[in-house]
Amino acid sequence: MTEKLFDIDSYIKEFTCKVISLYTKDDKLYIETDRTAFFPEGGGQTSDIGKLGCANVENVQNIDGKIYHFVENSEENVKFFTIGKEIKGEICWKKRFSDMQQHSGEHIFSGIVHSLFGYDNVGFHLGSETVTLDFNGVLTKEDMCKVELLVNKAVWANSEVKVFFPSDEELALIDYRSKKEIDGQVRLVEFPGVDICACCAPHVKNTGEIGIIQVVSFEKYKGGTRVSILCGERALADIRHKLDENHSVSVLMSAKEKETAQAVERIKKEKESLDYEIVGLKKEILSLKLASIKADKRIIIFDSSLEGKMLQDYALSLMERAEEFVCCFCGEKGQYRYCMVSDKLDPLPYAKALNEAFTGKGGGRNGIVQGTVSGEEDEIREFLTSPSV
Ligand SMILES: [Zn+2]
């Protein structure tokens, strides 16, 4: 059985241990030691990483009650790790401390939500990018602001975090949060005045080390609420990134940094009214163009401004002026959408011939055919106006 150094002291970064068992599987070598400071993956948190002897520890897992360190199954590592050998271990402190900040922040957050609203944390995920907490109750924006302030006040109180292993009798008298039934010795983590919860993970010694707890986002989730938080250095990095983005927006908009949203809203409204104006002008131009088109046997039009439904509307507006059919094209670089219409004959055979000649496709009925073709304007024009078609 491996002695869990992280259980008693979460600040142990380096340690010595002895290899007690090992085996290889696929491209990994699994190493069990008599003691370890590496926290294995569990309770929603990824494992520690770091160094064991000469090897990089990529993952640590609890397999059938035993803690295994995963290293590369290389010739060098297989030679280095032997049963009984005394080796040095060192965890990646940057990841561990960040995980401790996030996890301790999560306990304070869940504890305060529980005491204010009675909701339980029913899901926790501490990933490399995000930290999410799922509560079995709905939290509003106001609730979230209230909780955010209170959790940060608990951080600023800088209280000492207590980790202890109560006896069954003591445990029976303690009101604590726990996500599931736990077999064997229960490890409790107490944030005085805020929360007591059963937990196996490493935590900070004093709440002040969490630095800041920031609500990044929240959404309705499975009838409750999913909250994303960031703590400590991760929160600082996130705030810095967003401040930089906002600063860039303020420069681009020539707006004060606390008034960027209003500036963007103003530009958005201006764009909407300009778009509206453009649509009106396009319609005006098209009706002027339309007026200039003379009656003909077959009317062929290429116009890249005939977007969307305008292509069909335009062709239909010209229908009366054609003895046979009207065919309007919209597109560029040899790729066109077309609409062929007629009130004198069935345009389908003409459209089929067009598709065959210009690797096109499409179809329609009641005198309206729509499709796409590939080809040059001159060639398409020549084809459609030739008497053999
Ligand atoms: Zn926990």
Q: Where are the domains of the chain?
A: 3-91, 97-243, 255-292, 293-385
> What is d(CA 237, CA 232) in angstroms, rounded to the nearest whole number?
9
Chain centroid to CA 196: 32
Q: CB neighbours of 160 closer than 8 A, spacing ≥ 6?
A: 192, 205, 206
CATH fold group of domain 293-385 = Diaminopimelate Epimerase; Chain A, domain 1 (3.10.310)
pLDDT at 129: 86
Ligand 1 centroid to Cα of residue 348, in Å, is 70
pLDDT band at 43 (very low <50, low <70, confident <90, very high): confident
List the beta bridge partners of residue 296.
Answer: 322
Ligand 1 centroid to Cα of residue 56, in Å, is 26
pLDDT band at 283 (very low <50, low <70, confident <90, very high): confident
Ligand 1 centroid to Cα of residue 33, in Å, is 24
Ligand 1 centroid to Cα of residue 170, in Å, is 20
pLDDT at 389: 75
Ligand 1 centroid to Cα of residue 43, in Å, is 7
Report the SS3 class of residue 110: helix
Mean pLDDT, residues 255-265: 96
Ligand 1 centroid to Cα of residue 187, in Å, is 10
Ligand 1 centroid to Cα of residue 107, in Å, is 6
Mean pLDDT, residues 180-195: 86
pLDDT band at 147 (very low <50, low <70, confident <90, very high): very high
Q: Is the pLDDT assigned to residue 179 strictly greater than 60?
A: no
Ligand 1 centroid to Cα of residue 203, in Å, is 8
pLDDT at 180: 63
Mean pLDDT, residues 80-99: 98
pLDDT at 182: 64
Find, among 153, 141, 129, 134, the residue nearest to 210 by Cα: 153
pLDDT band at 89 (very low <50, low <70, confident <90, very high): very high
Report the percentage of the chain scoring pLDDT > 70: 99
pTM above 0.85, yes or no: no
**Identical fold at 3-91 and 293-385?**
no
pLDDT band at 333 (very low <50, low <70, confident <90, very high): confident
CATH fold group of domain 3-91 = Elongation Factor Tu (Ef-tu); domain 3 (2.40.30)
Q: Is the pLDDT assigned to residue 142 strictly greater than 70?
A: yes
Ligand 1 centroid to Cα of residue 149, in Å, is 21
Sheet holding 131-135, edge to edge: 121-126, 131-135, 224-231, 213-221
Ligand 1 centroid to Cα of residue 181, in Å, is 14
Mean pLDDT, residues 31-37: 98
pLDDT band at 181 (very low <50, low <70, confident <90, very high): low
Ligand 1 centroid to Cα of residue 238, in Å, is 23
Ligand 1 centroid to Cα of residue 146, in Å, is 22
Tell me what the pLDDT averaged over the chain comes to: 95
pLDDT at 259: 97
pLDDT at 184: 77
> What is d(CA 72, CA 80) in angstroms, rounded to the nearest whole number?
12
Interhelix angle 260-292/232-253, rounded to 10 degrees, is 50
CATH fold group of domain 97-243 = Threonyl-tRNA Synthetase; Chain A, domain 2 (3.30.980)
Mean pLDDT, residues 224-252: 97
Mean pLDDT, residues 215-236: 97
pLDDT at 221: 96
